[in-house]
A and B are shown apart, each in its own frame.
Chain A
Amino acid sequence: MTGRLRGLKDLVQDAVEHGSRAVERIHRTHLRVPYEVVGKVPGLETPAKAIHTVHDGSVAVVYGTVRLVNRAVGAALGVALAAADLARGEKPTDAEAAPVPDEPSFKSPTPPPSKEG
């Protein structure tokens, strides 16, 4: 059962990781336009560029924090699930290892055939 819980945890963690990167990319791209417009006003080039840099840095920190917390929570849940496995007398499953199915399953014993046509 912890195999599925761990899988759910990994899936949510992946979704937050990839989702935050996608949103960050959109965020940065959309905000580039007004800064570019303001930067074309004579006398505002330097302040616009400076503010844009500070803003980009802030965006990176915010989204980076989201991902950091995501990983920290994921790691904590991973430890909790491993502890649950141990408490049930089962060998903890490594997060990167193949999951241990609850029921017998079948995997092809041979590599993919190379035949074509």
Chain B
Amino acid sequence: MGAPGWVDHVLGALNAAVGDYLESRGNGLAVPMELREGNQAVAPEAGALRKAFPAGNDRVVLFVHGLGCTEALWAFPGRGAESYGAALARDAGITPVYLRYNTGRAIADNGRDLAHLLEAFALAYPHGLRSLDLVGHSMGGLVLRSACRVALDEGLTWLSRVRRAVYLGSPHEGAPLERFAKVAASVLRVVPDPTTRTVGDIADLRSAGVKDLGDGRIAAVAAGVVPLSDGIVHHFVVGSLAESERHVLSQLFGDAIVPLASASAVTLRGAGTPGGSLHVMARLNHLALAHHDDVYAVLKELWAKDAESPGAPSPAAGEGT
């Protein structure tokens, strides 16, 4: 994985803030949805995929970053291009693929586009696609769930290749920070003062993607709670500010952005996900979940079974709980 430059980082942050506006205006600063390899976009076509993944194999893991980031998020700090994907390629023999997208768009819009992008990818992938596993950080996990939902609704073929999904600090049940911003903007707009109201208007300029995070909304319509996809083993990795998840700091603030209950999807995990697991990572903040050795140890363990028996990875095979 190559390293995106500072322009890419700035565009990632800008798109988080006003990406939906940029897209609606046809603005050239809007980040397009792309599969990435070596800091290059890879078109979902056989020739481009063969060139980008000359040593690829039939076991692919897709990494989807979160709000305001790029695929550079996955790199271990101070270790060059080393990332979960590169490490899993070395230790478990998978082929990592990274997604870059406009995080200011509605999660449902990104989910729909990702679903169709993966369909094109699955059909064109030159090494045969036996398994497609998913790893999402923060908003990325919600985009993955949304894509799975679209794939199920539309009968897309790639969904049958997905065996497991790993969510790193994804706000499945919403993020209080965004809900607070929503309330603050509403209050400011009610105050009968033009300056205060204007500040409220500016605060309300938050992108559709950010607003979706408030409730963990992954569907285009008010569909209520969208369940986790069947046939996929779901794993939740959750950050905790304190040493213990029972500590008041952890209970109140989770990983500083997403509460423990939301990231661990307490109300969603109950149904239809045998073999899934929950991992609470002590003293890890939200961003660190995307590039930390302790989290990688969890991922390595999840994929270790495949490395031991590469001939027969099967979905929902009862992974550690």
Contacts and interface: CB of A to CB of B under 8 A. Distances in A.
A71 to B, nearest CB: 15
Nearest to A22: B198
Nearest to B117: A106
B29 A7 contact: yes
A112 interface: yes
A100 B28 CA distance: 7
Interface string B9-45: 0010000001000100111111011110000111110
Contacts of B34: 103-106
Interface stretch (B108-116, B239-247, B298-306, B313-321): B108-116
Contacts of B25: 10, 14
Interface string B213-248: 000000111011000000000000000000000000
Contact of A116 (B33, B42, B221): B221
Interface of B: 7, 11, 18, 22, 25-30, 32-35, 40-44, 48, 108-109, 112-113, 115-117, 120, 150, 153-154, 194-195, 198, 201, 219-221, 223-224
Contacts of A3: 28
A100 B48 CA distance: 19
Contacts of A22: 198, 201
A113 B198 CA distance: 36
Nearest to B45: A104
Contact of A7 (B22, B35, B108): B22
Contact of B33 (A7, A11, A105): A105
Contacts of B48: 104
Given A3-B28, A29-B194, A107-B113, A113 B150 contact: yes
* Chain A binding surface, main DSSP class: loop
Contacts of A8: 28-29
Contact of A99 (B27, B154, B220, B221): B27
Using C-beta atoms within 8 Å of the partner chain, give the interface range for chain A.
35 or more
B28 A6 contact: yes
A3 B28 CA distance: 5
A31 B276 CA distance: 63
A34 B25 CA distance: 40
A87 interface: no
Contact of B27 (A7, A25, A113): A7
A4 interface: yes
Contacts of B112: 108, 112-113
Interface in A4-49: 4-8, 10-11, 14, 22, 25-26, 29-30
5 contacts: A7-B22, A10-B28, A26-B194, A101-B28, A106-B33
B26 A96 contact: yes
B28 A108 contact: no
A115 B40 CA distance: 35
A57 interface: no
A98 B116 contact: no
B198 A25 contact: yes
A89 interface: no
A59 B237 CA distance: 56
Interface in A76-108: 93, 96-101, 103-108
A105 B28 contact: no
Given A100-B28, A106-B35, 19 more contacts: A2-B28, A4-B28, A6-B28, A7-B30, A10-B27, A11-B22, A11-B27, A26-B195, A29-B194, A30-B194, A104-B42, A105-B41, A106-B33, A106-B34, A106-B113, A107-B113, A108-B117, A112-B108, A116-B221
B116 A99 contact: no
A7 B22 CA distance: 8
B223 A117 contact: yes
Contact of B26 (A97, A112, A113): A97
- Interchain residue pairs A-B with the least CB separation, the first 10: A105-B32, A7-B28, A3-B28, A99-B28, A7-B29, A103-B41, A104-B43, A29-B194, A108-B113, A7-B27
Contacts of B115: 108
A101 B32 contact: yes
